[in-house]
């Protein structure tokens, strides 16, 4: 049996962040991942903000940056577009399209450099409590072994078997789980370079479609839908979108990515005796955009820091670990709630109302790109938005 202070399950950005900060805090850390290659396959449109990285103390590395982003384009069902780029407004920050297959490895390497031990192709099989510790049964290359830890951090994605094994009641309802699907394509014909594009309405019921540029004619082209809002599969919607969108009609797919995206906000149970939950497993995903890299890494950082303090104090109880939930509620919870309300409002709008809002936005001046700024302008053009969202600004 292998023994450690902290065991992190899942080496995505959230898990690597948790392992890094737990090790940085002085804990002995093991980070496991079921995949042979950390970061592959990707389940992400790969967008990230520079400020988000800087707030985590990470200096962007050109080795994992595919494209610098200078704004966004919002497209209504009728094709009316709203440009929020450096040509129209002063952007508060820049963003990037990543190469997640490289980025995720870099984040795991950061954890390793702080002292975390990494075990790849290691599958978590079961969990049991023993005294004041927990024991995880794992499998590596067909052989079973056990890891005994004082704290486990579940960063094993939206399905999160680990948190359920630990007795936490974290089940995402179908209405809050988007089915995401994406092509990486070449031959994409951009109207403007370095701009991410979002398409709303019936092209992606319950979600939206996107184009994230990665190179001169290369982009991630995908969408997310809520299964109960449509009688078509996400793949059928994506094929229709690609065929109808002028930018992608002549493009060809070189990669297909699929995955679930929890967009219902934070899960009910973020902690318990000997366990913390972070990343997608904790619902640390922007409910409006479905983006979760930065919020998940922040969640992982908080989990790692609290775990290290728990080890230092010798207290692994839920009473001590509740501090993690308090930090997450303070740092992420308020924004998550706001994004959830905006998402619920946006999903209630039929195509013609989305078109009307896009038309009204044509003549409006945006000070910056942010959810609050968009809500402020929504309530100016829609009495319904004022009723539903007025309290958020």
Q: Are 281 and 154 in contact (CB under 8 A)?
A: yes
Region 174-197 average pLDDT:
93
For residues 282 and 381, the model is more confident at 282
Q: Measured between alpha carbons, how far is 327 from 329 in angstroms, rounded to an integer?
A: 5
pLDDT at position 89 is 62
Tell me the chain's radius of gyration from C-alpha atoms.
Answer: 21
Q: Measured between alpha carbons, how far is 342 from 251 in angstroms, rounded to an integer?
A: 33
> Given this structure, which CATH class describes domain 2-45+101-173+264-343?
alpha beta
Going by C-alpha positions, the residue among 165, 169, 334, 174 that lies closest to residue 268 is: 169
- Give tens-digit pLDDT for 66-83: 999 988 899 999 999 988
Q: What percent of the chain has pLDDT over 90?
A: 73
pLDDT at position 313 is 97
- Give tens-digit pLDDT for 1-54: 999 999 999 999 999 999 999 999 999 999 999 999 999 988 888 999 888 999
pLDDT at position 203 is 95
Coil, strand, or helix at residue 276? Answer: strand
Q: Measured between alpha carbons, how far is 288 from 207 in angstroms, rounded to an integer?
A: 9
Is pLDDT of 92 > 60?
no
- Cα end-to-end span (Å), the chain: 54
Q: Which residues pair with 68 in a beta bridge?
A: 96
> 122-130 and 133-140: which strand pairing?
antiparallel
Output the pTM of the full model. Answer: 0.93
For residues 251 and 227, the model is more confident at 251
Is pLDDT of 91 > 70?
no
Region 164-170 average pLDDT:
92
Q: Measured between alpha carbons, how far is 18 from 154 in angstroms, rounded to an integer?
A: 10
- Give tens-digit pLDDT for 296-342: 999 999 999 999 999 999 999 999 999 999 999 999 998 888 888 88
Average confidence score pLDDT of the chain: 92
DSSP annotation of 203 reads: T
Region 105-130 average pLDDT:
97
| Residue spans in the chain of domains classed CATH 3.50.50.60 | 2-45+101-173+264-343
Q: Measured between alpha carbons, how far is 1 from 154 in angstroms, rounded to an integer?
A: 20
The CATH number that domain 67-97+175-262 falls under is: 3.30.9.10
pLDDT at position 136 is 98
Q: Measured between alpha carbons, how far is 282 from 309 in angstroms, rounded to an integer?
A: 20
Q: Measured between alpha carbons, how far is 115 from 22 in angstroms, rounded to an integer?
A: 9
Going by C-alpha positions, the residue among 191, 149, 182 that lies closest to residue 275 is: 149
pLDDT band for position 175 (cuts 50, 70, 90):
confident
Is pLDDT of 260 > 60?
yes
pLDDT at position 90 is 56
Q: What percent of the chain has pLDDT over 70?
A: 96
pLDDT band for position 393 (cuts 50, 70, 90):
low
Q: How far is CA 62 from CA 67, 68, 103, 307, 316, in A?
A: 9, 10, 10, 32, 40
| Residue spans in the chain of domains classed CATH 3.30.9.10 | 67-97+175-262
């Amino acid at each position: 049996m292998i023994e450690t202070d902290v065991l992190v399950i899942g080496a995505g950005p959230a898990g690597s962040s948790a392992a890094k900060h737990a090790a940085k805090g002085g804990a002995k850390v093991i980070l496991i991942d079921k995949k042979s290659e950390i970061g592959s396959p990707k389940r992400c449109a790969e967008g990230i903000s520079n400020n988000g990285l800087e707030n985590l103390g990470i200096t962007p590395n050109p080795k994992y940056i595919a494209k610098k982003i200078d704004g966004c384009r919002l497209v209504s069902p009728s094709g009316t577009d709203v440009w929020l780029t450096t040509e129209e407004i002063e952007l508060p920050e820049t963003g990037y399209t990543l190469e997640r297959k490289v980025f995720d490895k870099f984040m795991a390497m950061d954890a390793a450099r702080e002292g975390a031990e990494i075990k790849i192709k290691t599958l978590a099989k079961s969990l049991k409590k023993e005294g004041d510790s927990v024991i995880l049964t794992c499998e590596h290359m067909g052989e079973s072994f056990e890891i005994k830890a004082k704290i486990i951090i579940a960063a094993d994605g939206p399905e999160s078997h680990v948190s359920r094994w630990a007795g936490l009641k974290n089940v995402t309802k179908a209405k809050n789980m988007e089915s995401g699907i994406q092509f990486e394509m070449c031959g994409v014909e951009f109207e403007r370079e370095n701009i991410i594009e979002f398409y709303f309405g019936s092209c992606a019921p319950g979600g939206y479609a996107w184009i994230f540029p990665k190179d001169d004619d290369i982009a991630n082209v995908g969408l997310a839908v809520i299964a109960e809002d449509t009688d078509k599969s996400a793949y059928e919607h994506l094929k229709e979108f690609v065929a109808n969108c002028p930018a992608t009609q002549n493009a060809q797919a070189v990669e297909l990515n699929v995955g679930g995206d929890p967009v219902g906000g934070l899960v009910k149970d973020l902690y318990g005796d000997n366990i913390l939950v972070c990343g997608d497993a904790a619902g640390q995903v922007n409910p409006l955009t479905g983006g979760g890299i930065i919020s998940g890494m922040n969640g992982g950082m908080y989990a790692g820091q609290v775990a290290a303090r728990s080890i230092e104090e010798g207290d692994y109880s839920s009473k001590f670990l509740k501090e993690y939930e308090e930090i997450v509620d303070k740092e992420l919870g308020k924004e998550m709630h706001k994004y959830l309300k905006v998402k619920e409002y946006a999903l209630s709008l039929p195509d013609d109302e989305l078109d009307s809002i896009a038309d009204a936005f044509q003549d409006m001046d945006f000070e910056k790109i942010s959810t609050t700024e968009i809500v402020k302008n929504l309530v100016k053009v829609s009495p319904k938005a004022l009723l539903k969202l007025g309290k958020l600004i």
